[in-house]
Amino acid sequence: MIDLHSHLLPGIDDGAVDLAMSLAMARIAAADGIRTVACTPHIYPGMYDNDAPGIRRAVAALQREIDEAGIDLRLVEGADAHLTPDLVADIAADRVPTLAASRYLLLEPPHHVAPPHFEDALFELMAAGYVPVITHPERLSWVEQEFNVFQRLASRGCWMQITAGALTGRFGRRVRYWGERFVGEGHAHLLATDAHHPERRPPLLAEAREAAARLVGAEEAMWMVQGRPAAILSDADPGSVPGPTPRASGEVSAPRWLPAWLRGRRGRA
């Protein structure tokens, strides 16, 4: 399996705080069957002022430590990039890295407010030749009001990445509901751990793969953790990669655990 979203690098954002924690997370990932991890620290001007050259140096340094520790794990570069007016220029100037130097960019929308002109900004990225990989849309506080926007973006070339813990209940029932809708209705392309901590936010992907398999079948679940992530690492043309099959919300059964107030909202977003 391949994990394209992990805050494994020590001491440069809100993920691993030191090398010992990074190695602990690396061991958990390897034991779970993950063989490649994209290290994707935040790039958030004024809070996390990381850049592509610095991230590459940190990835190389951590890879040496992982190799010396005998952990079977390969690291690649990336970043949890935030929308800024200069994002396209920053990528071109090598200030913001894409995933493994590919055309695919991990993009984190604001958590609590839908950004103005969100779709326009993503289409600008695509017009410049990049494929936005929108991370954890199921965890955004505004997903309920804008679910149709994410459906539309997924149908027009953006890739949706769901957090593994969302499908296993680690973020609560509301996030699990939206995660299952993205996956079950065929709008999700990828699963990733978004690991931040060996205990509170561990790099576990296998349990989410099994949860996804219950929704869309084992073959599609493997595409989400292996086939499409491998295509990203090889910089494959997205048109050459099989996508998820969209289904109407009525074709997806509501989970038995879903509370009544959410059951009544299915299909209304």
Domains (range + CATH), the chain? 2-263 (3.20.20.140)
Specify the pLDDT at position 250. Answer: 55
Number of neighbouring beta carbons within 10 Å of residue 116 = 7
Rounded-to-integer distance, Cα 28 and Cα 18, Å: 16
| pTM metric for this prediction | 0.92
Rounded-to-integer distance, Cα 69 and Cα 231, Å: 28
Q: Which two tokens stand for residue 151?
A: 């459906």
Specify the pLDDT at position 41. Answer: 97
For residue 106, CA distances in Å to 15, 67, 159, 185, 228 come to: 16, 26, 9, 22, 14
Beta strand 2-6 with 36-39: parallel, antiparallel or unpaired? Answer: parallel
Least confident of 53-57, 129-133, 212-216, 248-252: 248-252
Number of neighbouring beta carbons within 10 Å of residue 146 = 18
> Which residues are CB-neighbours of 12 under 8 A, at least 6 positions away?
41, 48, 50, 54, 55, 58
User: Residue 69: pLDDT band by 50, 70, 90 thresholds?
Assistant: very high
Q: Which of 7, 40, 41 lies closest to 22 in space, CA to CA?
A: 7
Q: Which of 172, 163, 152 lies closest to 262 in space, CA to CA?
A: 172
Specify the pLDDT at position 247. Answer: 87
Residue 256 has pLDDT above 60, yes or no: no
Q: Which two tokens stand for residue 38?
A: 């994209």
Specify the pLDDT at position 248. Answer: 73
Contact 142, 117 (CB under 8 A): no
Least confident of 83-92, 140-149, 246-255, 259-268: 259-268
Specify the pLDDT at position 259. Answer: 46
Q: 């900004």: which residue's tokens?
A: 121
Give the whole-number percent of the chain exceeding pLDDT 90: 88
Contact 194, 137 (CB under 8 A): no
Least confident of 115-119, 135-139, 183-187: 115-119
DSSP state of 215: H
Specify the pLDDT at position 252. Answer: 52
Rg (CA), the chain: 17
